[in-house]
Amino acid sequence: MSAAAVLEATPTSARTPRGLIHTVLRLHRGALWIWLAFVTATAGFLLWLLGPGADTAQRALESYGYSGLIMANGSADEYSSLFYYPDTLITLASFAVALFAGGPLIARELESGTAQLAWTQSVSPARWLTAKLAVPAASILLGTTLLTVLYHQLWAAHSDLLIAGIGPRSLYFSLGPATVAAPLLGLALGALIGLTARRTLPALAFSGSAYFLVYAFRGNHWPFQGRYQQPELSSRSRAFTSAGTEIRDPGCYDDKACLAQHDVVRFTREYLPSSDYWPRQLLETGVLLALTAVAVALAFGLLRRRAATG
């Protein structure tokens, strides 16, 4: 459909702020449905991990302690691996947001001339870009907040089932407001690159590359996740006798005779809180939001110059 046909088919009421939002929803409903499906599927996976998915590993921990997690025929280790999958999915979603913003959301309309034609009517460039960013930003904010809250609930309930190492600490430091801010930065970067490139395919390539650089920097520099430099997250394991007395883990593994000798009936384990969690979370979130604000400001400035020069 040509740019003229799109605008002609759009009623005057659709060129108001509310109408612009409705138009963005209609034009990009496919992407919104994909996002909704992603959030729903990932939330369902998190709920499964929170409930029935943890049963086997939880029984192994309670019966044999941390050694039970290691020796439970691979099932506990499998659960520990599954625990990280939603984090990977959320990270990939941030890349997808950047690609979408750079390509279909911004660059394609500039390339086809739809945006320029809209600007000659009652839609100002600033209102056009505001509507383009507001709708996906609201969807991203709601979706990632829901997933982060569920992930935090999963950590609170079953982080004790994770096999020790760098992984638990990296995950622990990725479950906070910075997880919500990261895709918003992807959206802003994609929009800025889309306005700069003004062609769909180059915008897709540059948006993906730019967000990859941001992700790589976050993974290796303080106060970000720093997954390659971090020590392990401290943990505490406890064993309890039939009288409820807490004793040192005797290290019986799955030897029932050894467990009976020490009168051990139950084990617990927990990762200890880290004193630098909230300082790092808040600082990282602040940096990401500041970069998002800079990218949005640059995008509006670039748009004003482009509109002024025709």
Distance (Å, rounded) from C-alpha 16 to C-alpha 9?
15
Indicate whether 232 pLDDT > 70. Answer: yes
| pLDDT, position 286 | 94
Q: Which of 6-20, 52-66, 208-222, 274-288 has the lowest mean pLDDT?
A: 6-20
CA distance 267 to 248: 10
Span 156-180, mean pLDDT?
Answer: 91
* Confidence category of residue 14, pLDDT binned at 50, 70, 90: very low
Is pLDDT of 78 > 90?
no
Q: Is the pLDDT of residue 218 over 60?
A: yes
> Is pLDDT at 146 greater than 80 in this prediction?
yes
For tokens 């990859």, what's the residue? 212
What are the residues whose beta carbons fall under 8 Å from the beta carbon of 248, sequence distance 6 or more?
Answer: 239
Instruction: Tell me how far apart the alpha carbons of residues 167 and 174 are, in angstroms, rounded to a whole number.
Output: 11
In the three-class reduction of DSSP (H, G, I as helix; E, B as strand; rest coil), residue 266 is classed as strand
Q: Categorize the per-residue pLDDT at 27 as very low, low, confident or very high, splitting at 50, 70 and 90.
A: confident
Report the run of H or E that residue 191 belongs to, with start and end.
helix 177-197
- CA 108 vs CA 22, 86, 292: distances in Å: 19, 31, 22
User: Which of 55-69, 187-201, 206-220, 248-262 has maximum average pLDDT?
Assistant: 187-201
Do residues 144 and 177 touch, judged by C-beta distance below 8 A?
no
Q: How far apart are CA 250 and CA 238, in angstroms?
A: 10
Q: What is the pLDDT of residues 105-144, one digit of tens each?
A: 899 988 888 888 777 777 788 888 998 999 999 999 999 9
Ranges 6-15, 59-68, 145-154, 288-297: which has the least confidence: 6-15
Let me know if 86 is exposed, middle or buried by CB neighbors in 10 A (0-12, 13-18, 19+): buried
Q: Which residue do the tokens 């459909």 mark?
A: 1
CA pair distance 298, 305, nearest whole angstrom: 11
Q: Is the pLDDT of residue 11 over 50?
A: no
pLDDT at 222 over 60: yes
Q: What is the pLDDT of residue 4?
A: 45
- Give the type of residue at 190: G
Mean of the per-residue pLDDT values for the chain?
A: 86
